[in-house]
Structure 1
Amino acid sequence: MKMTADCKTADHESSTNGDVQSTTFQNDDHANQPRNPHTMGKKINEYQALMSLIKGNIGTGILSMPVVIRYAGLWTGFTMIIASGILSTYLMHVLLRTANAVQQRHNWDRSKMDYAETAFLVLKYGPERLRKLKGKLKHTVNGFLILTQVGTCCVYTLFITENIRYFLVSFFPYLTLNVYLVGFIVCLILILMNFKSSMRVVTYLSGLANVCTAIGMILIFVYLFTSGLHSIYEFPAITNFNGLLIAFSIVMFSFEGISLVLPLQSKMIDPTRYGLPFGVLTTGMIIVICMNVAVGFYGFLKFGEESEGSITLNIPQVPYWFAPVKPLFIIAMFVSYLLQYYVPAQIFSRLMEKLTCHRDASDRRRYINLKLMRIGMVIFSYAAAVSIPRLDLLLSLIGSLAGSTLAFILPATLEIIFLWSDRQQISWFWLTVFTKHIIFISIGLLSCFGGLIATIIQIIKAFHSK
């Protein structure tokens, strides 16, 4: 579609609003990727960085671990979660190592060394043939990061919808509630919350969300360990290839916290403590992996083939002291939605400034345009969520598209490019660097394309079975 003359684009510099610096898609050295609200502000110590890292890697993904094992098989899924966590942690270190090397070699400002900026600088100072692609790669990285955040908003919308529906039906069995009706009500609530909530208020509410998540996780483990588990011999060790692809894609969604790695380091009082062998990054990811494995393994041993897209959907309301599990996570995800929503909303508001018809409009019209944009984003997350009304398949779809690229393909590719000019000085470069990273890239591509195809096939089957 051609853009009308009065709506043509114009250059506009990126700016900072509140605590979150947004990205406009410009081809310069200083346009950064969207920042996570948790990583902005004053310097943080090791404990605060550790808590932020754990919090950034624990969300709806960890609650879906039982369904990962259902798709993959008991021992295959168990091994897959551990192996994927270890590989993701290693590739986080690869990205961190590459960013630090670029920063030290070219005396770059560490505070600007986020994911997209690292990709930009690796190509800027890399092989001559690739330098012209630096801007395109930066936009690509930012695009995948935005896709992850918008996709996560869609996941939160469906998560809230399904948990409200299950919660109400369990207490009022005579109610007939479908996902579209409940999702529409959730959509209206989210629109109102986005109109009324400032980022400062949402940041304070995130403390409440953390408490709700912690209590909810404790209740889940109490239920799992007190209600009896099935024998490990009752379940298959492995399922089928399509199941493995979907399972791996869901795991990729769960370990998508790689975008936090560099901003967290730049905010630490002593950044050198971050990437040590048993520093903040490794310690935090070990805790995250153990929690994912525990929820997945024991959750599957409890619910088996009946494991839902989120373990909260399996937790019963009786005994009544387990009834708060769903409401606790519903509250947490409402707040998490606002946090995830904030960054892409700021980005799109900056992009709107490039449109002459918006930039030259009256203040009242500009205000209305921005509100309509925000409403449109919430409606989009609702439409995307209810169009794939299976939480496990929505997780797999986003994980296969964005998770595999950000967690596997790009870190490995960036280190190959960065070390390419020094390959003659690196012992066994073709084995220790090139071949190893080609394997990681191949795993990422298999997950991306294979997982995407397998998920789409499963989505089609789900619609046909209705």
Structure 2
Amino acid sequence: MSTDKIMAEYNVKVVVTKKNQRNANESPFLKREVAHPTSDIETLIHLAKGSLGTGVLAMPFAFSNAGLALGLIGTIFIGFVCTHCVHIMVKSAQELCWRHNIPALDFGDIAETAFKNGPQSLRPASGFARGFIQTLIVVVALGACCVYIVFVSSNLQQVIDFFTGTTIDIKLYILMVTAVLMALAMIRNLRLLSPFSLLSNVLFLASIGIVFYYVFQDLPSVNEREAFMSITKLPVFFSTAVFALEGITVVMPLENNMKTPQHFTGCFRVLNTAMAMIVSIYALVGFMGYLKYGDEVEGSISLNLPEGEIPAQTAQIMLAAAVAFTYPLQFYCAMEFTWPSLDKFLQRKVPKISGLLGEYIYRVLLVLLTMAIALAIPNLSALMGLIGAVCLSTVGLMFPAIVETIVYWEDWGWGNWKLVKNILIFLFGLLGFVTGLYTSILDLIASFGGGEEKALLLL
């Protein structure tokens, strides 16, 4: 039976297709060779940790650029769109696995396979699509690692400087933090990272509880805060919220490492369960944090906690530890996308440093790279905005819409409502990309001492 006919029946009547055309015993997922596969619970923990990080603490800052009402509506809307994009990405990947009898696909494989088997005019671009998306994924993962270094360093700096009465440059803290993260980055097994992710989640939720303790004290009236901000501030809200909510970079590595990848999507399964919790927490932190601190809110609300109070300092230390334990998960994603190809190259050109030795050397170099970027741009809000606007709007919004359209193009054709939906998602991501990039560049220039007026003149 042709692929077109199989897909037509698949779309119309899933149950019949699963029974008659796609025998579970012949599933390509059964051919996966995973040394240490993760369970549904372990995958849920990793997904929650991959998405529930420094971004949630930046949500009050995001709300300060949107207002209470618009921030709440926008957070829920962006969370819904991001979750939907993860769904269609995983669905498209699994469909390609079925069609071509492939056990697993990473982001580069998805792009190349979709373009190679899509409309005739797109097939020559398959190689470019693979390289482009892999580059963006690596930039997102390493960019998140840079944010983590700056976040941990900033919180430790505030606590240590207060209790010691010193004023130490944040760059020295970045060097010290990197030394610890270097050890965590040497962990090669995703399953061995599960205890770190679990501990990180516990520390993070405990510290969020302490943050709420301070936030809920002496709350002002909602009438004292803006409900809707100027449209000129919305790009900052968008880029920060997308950075916070978009955990798509960890999705395919986690799905590929599952014992039962079929359980990743579904109404009450891994993805929806994790994202429902994440979006709820983000919306609550953003709303209450902005209500409490207003325009004085920092890039991370943890930096607004009162100095000298033990619970506040404990929360900052726990947050620093939680984010530090998240670093190796994002780092794992960057390694997954870059090391296999590099290892093959080294085996051909420099066999002495290929294999395990070469991998450890490469891990050290990548950690040093994230440290160098953190040293160059120790501005938390600017880093998050830039990554969210440029990379995550592309990878998390535009790319899934393009891939699903190509994979199901023969079944849809022009005029299909799903095609219209994907065009709207693409335009939404493109708008966020352009406006977010512009405002992030302004923020970066200003952070280097240029000032807002000078930044505008330069642009």
Task: Give the alignment's TM-score, normalised by structure 2.
Answer: 0.81
Q: Is this contact kept in 1: 2:78–2:241, CA < 8 A?
A: yes
Residue of structure 1 aligned with 2:433, choices 433, 436, 448: 448
Task: Report % sequence identity.
Answer: 29
Q: Is this contact kept in 2: 1:256–1:406, CA < 8 A?
A: no
Q: In structure 2, give the amino acid aligned to 1:230.
A: P
- Residue 152 of structure 2 corresponds to 160
The 1:393–1:275 alpha-carbon spacing in structure 2 relative to 1, beyond 3 Å, is same
Residue of structure 1 aligned with 2:285, choices 286, 295, 301: 295
Matched, 1:423 2:444: no
The 1:434–1:288 alpha-carbon spacing in structure 2 relative to 1, beyond 3 Å, is same
- Residue 3 of structure 1 corresponds to none
- Residue 328 of structure 1 corresponds to 318
The 1:435–1:40 alpha-carbon spacing in structure 2 relative to 1, beyond 3 Å, is farther
- Residue 457 of structure 2 corresponds to none
SS at match of 1:324: helix
Q: Which moved more, 1:176-185 or 1:266-275?
A: 266-275
Residue of structure 1 aligned with 2:385, choices 390, 393, 396: 396
SS at match of 1:152: helix
For residues 356 and 50 of structure 1, the distance between their equivalents in structure 2, rounded to whole angstroms, comes to 36
Residue of structure 2 aligned with 1:134, choices 126, 133, 138: 126
After the TM superposition, which residues 21-420 of structure 1 pair with which residues of structure 2 at under 5 Å, given as runs? 41-45=36-40, 47-104=41-98, 106-109=99-102, 111-172=103-164, 174-191=165-182, 194=185, 199=189, 203-225=194-216, 227-265=217-255, 271-345=261-335, 347-348=338-339, 351=342, 354=345, 359-361=350-352, 373-420=362-409
Q: Is this contact kept in 1: 2:97–2:104, CA < 8 A?
A: no
SS at match of 2:415: helix
Aligned-pair distance for 1:107? 4.8
Segments of 5+ residues of structure 2 without an aligned counterpart are 1-33, 452-459
For residues 259 and 167 of structure 1, the distance between their equivalents in structure 2, rounded to whole angstroms, comes to 32
For residues 116 and 308 of structure 1, the distance between their equivalents in structure 2, rounded to whole angstroms, comes to 36
Q: In structure 1, give the amino acid aligned to 2:49.
A: K
Aligned-pair distance for 1:402? 1.4
Task: Give the alignment's TM-score, normalised by structure 1.
Answer: 0.80
Q: Which moved more, 1:296-305 or 1:178-187?
A: 178-187
Q: Is this contact kept in 2: 1:123–1:133, CA < 8 A?
A: yes
Q: Is this contact kept in 1: 2:140–2:249, CA < 8 A?
A: no
Q: In structure 1, give the amino acid aligned to 2:174.
A: G
Aligned-pair distance for 1:271? 4.5
The 1:443–1:386 alpha-carbon spacing in structure 2 relative to 1, beyond 3 Å, is same
The 1:187–1:440 alpha-carbon spacing in structure 2 relative to 1, beyond 3 Å, is same
For residues 199 and 262 of structure 2, the distance between their equivalents in structure 1, rounded to whole angstroms, comes to 31
Aligned-pair distance for 1:359? 0.9
Describe the superposition over 1:165-209 as per-residue Cα deviations: whole angstroms up to 9, x where unpaired.
Answer: 11112323x3112222322332344446657x6657655444432
Q: In structure 2, give the amino acid aligned to 1:430.
A: G
SS at match of 1:246: helix
Q: Is this contact kept in 2: 1:349–1:370, CA < 8 A?
A: no
For residues 323 and 263 of structure 1, the distance between their equivalents in structure 2, rounded to whole angstroms, comes to 35
- Residue 5 of structure 1 corresponds to none
For residues 198 and 412 of structure 1, the distance between their equivalents in structure 2, rounded to whole angstroms, comes to 32
For residues 331 and 204 of structure 2, the distance between their equivalents in structure 1, rounded to whole angstroms, comes to 19
Residue-pair matches, total: 417
Q: Which moved more, 1:134-143 or 1:397-406?
A: 134-143
Q: Is this contact kept in 2: 1:206–1:335, CA < 8 A?
A: yes
Q: Is this contact kept in 2: 1:165–1:177, CA < 8 A?
A: yes
Describe the superposition over 1:54-113 as per-residue Cα deviations: whole angstroms up to 9, x where unpaired.
Answer: 222111111111110112222222221111001111222222332233333x1523x413
For residues 349 and 267 of structure 1, the distance between their equivalents in structure 2, rounded to whole angstroms, comes to 16
Describe the superposition over 1:222-263 as per-residue Cα deviations: whole angstroms up to 9, x where unpaired.
Answer: 3323x2212211122233344211211111112222234445
Aligned-pair distance for 1:217? 2.0
After the TM superposition, which residues 5-16 of structure 1 pair with which residues of structure 2 at under 5 Å, given as runs? none
The 1:465–1:82 alpha-carbon spacing in structure 2 relative to 1, beyond 3 Å, is same
